[in-house]
Amino acid sequence: MKIAFLGTPEFALPSLEMLISRGHEMAVFTQPDRPKGRGHGITMPPVKELALKHGVPVYQFERIRDEEGLAALRAFAPELMVTAAFGQILSKENLDVPKYGCINVHGSLLPRYRGAAPIPWAVINGEKITGVTTMMTDVGLDTGDILLSSATDIGENETAGELYARLAVMGAELLERTIAELLKGELVRTPQKNEDATRCGIIKKHMAKIEFGRTADEVHNLVRGMNPAPVAFTNLDEYTIKVYSTLVRHDIDAGFTEASCGECVIADSRRGLFVKCADGIIEIKELQFAGSKRMDAKAALNSHRMINRVLGI
């Protein structure tokens, strides 16, 4: 089948790899190269790198909705479009190009978590189950008919990054099943129930600030959901401390009921770093002090004295 693949980040890679390996005639449409890192060197999107490795032609547009992008899509004349974390909204003119329409691979169980960041928000909100969905793309934001879905449990200490990698692989497997059913004429379209829909916007850096006045579970979920980026953080005096991993420690709650929220109730290199939250204690396992590298909290406390300090101020 002749397929135009529209995707940008790592989430799209297993799906693209699967389509290439199955011998489809491919063209990739992705975002332009961007500056990245401290040196602001120009970096290719991951999807472009993989496509070039396999000799697949690549087209890059700021807005595929514009005349130039639409013309390139029409010139390739795909039978099917596939999108996976493309990062742009498609127009009706884009969607009308392929005769089989456009299948999107989405990292949630639609209609829940429509939008740009379904995976971190599911973790931040403490969801126990999530999954991937293939859907027919329409002009709305993740509003098209559901094709297939596959669910998975979220581990209690699983980070958004870890879940992201798992769902990317699940998405590729689900996409393969979806296309097989499409070719057999057995694909069933199920309209979404809009009354059950939830929305999730882009994660912004300020959202990663830890509020120790919340419950230990809420703090733990925020830390997991902000890993690997933008990374949860707290303040100590004028410094910012990044927090990469935590554990909820209900086993030691009772001894610190009078402590203030954000207080470091235990902070030494032998036992670790434990902080009071609204309903209990959170252990900070991995962190990064300003001017230092990311490290285990016990190791970090060898050079940073934090006895009875209060974080988040």
Residues 158-169 pLDDT 10s: 999 999 999 999
113 and 236, same domain (yes or no): no
pTM given for the model: 0.95
Whether residue 307 lies inside any domain: the answer is no
Answer whether 65's CB lies under 8 Å from 86's CB.
no
Angle at 98 between CA 92 and CA 104, to 5 degrees: 75
Residue carrying the six token digits 């402590």: 259
219 and 162, same domain (yes or no): no
Q: What is d(CA 148, CA 258) in angstroms, rounded to the nearest whole number?
A: 51
Where a domain ends, among 184, 200, 216? 200
46-53 vs 13-21: helix axis angle to the nearest 10?
20
144 and 162, same domain (yes or no): yes
Query: Does residue 239 have a pLDDT over 90?
Result: no
Task: Please give the residue range of the domain that contains residue 215.
Answer: 205-300
Q: How confident is the model at residue 313 (pLDDT cuts 50, 70, 90)?
A: low
Q: What is d(CA 127, CA 211) in angstroms, rounded to the nearest whole number?
A: 19
CATH of the domain at 286: 3.10.25.10
Answer whether 71's CB lies under 8 Å from 92's CB.
no
45 and 191, same domain (yes or no): yes
220 and 178, same domain (yes or no): no
**pLDDT at residue 305, as a whole number:** 76
189 and 231, same domain (yes or no): no
Q: What is the DSSP secondary structure assignment for residue 260, as one 8-state letter?
A: P
Which neighbouring-strand residues pair with 165? none
Where a domain ends, among 143, 170, 200? 200
CATH of the domain at 107: 3.40.50.170
First to last CA, the chain: 58
Answer whether 271's CB lies under 8 Å from 278's CB.
no
As a 3-state breakdown, the chain gives helix, strand, coil percent values, each rounded to 5, of 30, 30, 40
Whether residue 309 lies inside any domain: the answer is no
pLDDT tens track for 181-215: 999 999 999 999 999 999 999 999 999 999 999 99
164 and 250, same domain (yes or no): no
Q: What is d(CA 258, CA 9) in angstroms, rounded to the nearest whole number?
A: 46
